[in-house]
């Protein structure tokens, strides 16, 4: 993250404070969230992630998601690519 995305951010985009981002679900629907540095080397999606999980029936410790992140002219969009059940 520190070598790939962070160098592309504008000076006013500070991950420590949180950056507004858009998450696109599998159907292309937009969901507003905040991308933030939670602790050293741990980046999280906040302010909208829990509602996203609830709306898409994602269960903690049961579902695994693949998320793509890419830079856009106006924002940093994320795309939920795949939902997979964890097998125990």
Place of tokens 């980046």: 43
pLDDT digits (tens, 9 = 90+) for 10-42: 778 888 888 888 888 888 888 999 988 888 888
Q: Does 87 score more than 80 pLDDT?
A: no
Residue range 6-85 in CATH 3.40.50.2000: no
Residue 83 pLDDT class (50, 70, 90 cuts):
low
Mean predicted confidence (pLDDT) in 53-77: 77
Residue 28 pLDDT:
84
Q: What is the pTM assigned to this prediction?
A: 0.67
User: What residues does each domain of the chain span?
Assistant: 6-85
Distance between CA atoms of residues 9 and 58, nearest Å: 30
Q: Name the least confident of 18-22, 58-62, 63-67.
A: 63-67
Pairing type for strands 76-85 and 19-24 reads parallel
Mean predicted confidence (pLDDT) in 61-78: 71
Residue-wise over 44-80: b if at least 16 C-beta within 10 A, else e?
ebeebbeebeeebebeeeeeeeeeebeeeeeebebeb
């Amino acid at each position: 993250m520190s070598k790939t995305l962070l160098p592309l951010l504008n000076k006013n985009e500070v991950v420590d404070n949180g950056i507004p981002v858009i998450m696109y679900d599998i159907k292309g629907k937009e969901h507003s969230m905040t991308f933030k540095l939670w602790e050293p080397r741990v980046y999280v999606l906040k302010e909208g992630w829990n509602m996203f999980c609830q709306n898409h029936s994602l269960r903690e410790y049961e579902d695994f998601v693949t998320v793509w992140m890419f830079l856009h002219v106006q924002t940093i969009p994320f795309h939920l690519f795949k939902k997979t059940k964890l097998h125990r």
